[in-house]
């Protein structure tokens, strides 16, 4: 497995980014849900949620740059409409990586808190405002539900390739991808 992507497999950096961000996104999501009715450790959980959310934003910038300098592996044979759906979901993930942290940042300020990135307080860009807070909260919440739907489709797609089509789509983005030449 090389550092860069090839036309038939992902390189180690893309694979690392994929799984690292999947884990961080999951953790951020669960911490976000926990904030809903967490009264005892609210500040601590909010700090962790803020920090991981902003980390997603920063990693997404690196990941996009990495994609820019690389080729993408060719999609493996399947119906065109499914390839388009998969690509659409990938693009949507990237949009979410930026919009979710942005709305989260504004939401934190609007509810009167300062965004804390692993101990460093970040500038307050908006003042406390209840009405705007309600709107931005709904947007952040709806985006969270959209992530769930996208992730479900994404995983179902990956499993469909792996177990039904039995191709290398999942293998080539995993760490143990001994891709056979005849299946590339």
Q: How far apart are CA 21 and CA 153, in angstroms?
A: 17
Is residue 170 a contact residue for ligand HEM (CB under 6 A)? yes
Within residues 54-113, the interface with ligand HEM by CB under 6 A covers 54, 56, 67, 73, 75, 86, 90, 93, 100-101, 104-105, 107-108, 111
Q: How far apart are CA 128 and CA 151, in angstroms?
A: 33
Query: Per CB under 6 A, which region of 123-131, 138-146, 176-184 contacts ligand HEM?
Result: 138-146
* CB 108, min distance to ligand HEM, A: 4
Within residues 19-58, the interface with ligand HEM by CB under 6 A covers 21-22, 25-26, 28-29, 32-33, 35-36, 49-50, 53-54, 56
* CB 170, min distance to ligand HEM, A: 4
- Per-residue HEC secondary structure of 42-97 comes to HHHHHHHHHHHHHHHHHHHHHHHHHHHCCCCCCCCCCCHHHHHHHHHHHHHHHHHH
What is the chain's alpha carbon radius of gyration, rounded to the nearest angstrom?
A: 19
């Amino acid at each position: 497995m090389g550092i860069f992507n090839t036309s038939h497999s992902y390189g180690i950096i893309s694979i690392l980014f994929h799984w690292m961000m999947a884990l961080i996104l999951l953790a951020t999501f669960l911490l976000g849900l926990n904030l809903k009715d967490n009264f005892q450790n609210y500040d601590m959980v909010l700090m962790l949620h803020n920090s991981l959310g902003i980390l997603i934003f920063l990693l997404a910038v690196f990941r996009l740059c990495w994609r820019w300098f690389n080729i993408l592996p060719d999609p493996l044979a399947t119906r065109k409409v499914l390839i388009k759906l998969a690509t659409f979901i990938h693009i949507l993930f990237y949009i979410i990586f930026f919009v979710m942290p942005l709305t989260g940042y504004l939401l934190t300020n609007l509810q009167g808190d300062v965004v804390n990135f692993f101990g460093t307080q970040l500038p307050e860009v908006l003042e406390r405002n209840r009405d705007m807070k309600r709107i931005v909260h709904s947007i952040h919440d709806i985006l969270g539900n959209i992530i769930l739907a996208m992730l479900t489709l994404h995983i179902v797609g990956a499993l469909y390739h792996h177990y039904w089509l039995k191709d290398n789509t999942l293998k080539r983005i995993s760490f143990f991808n001994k891709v056979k030449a005849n299946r590339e």
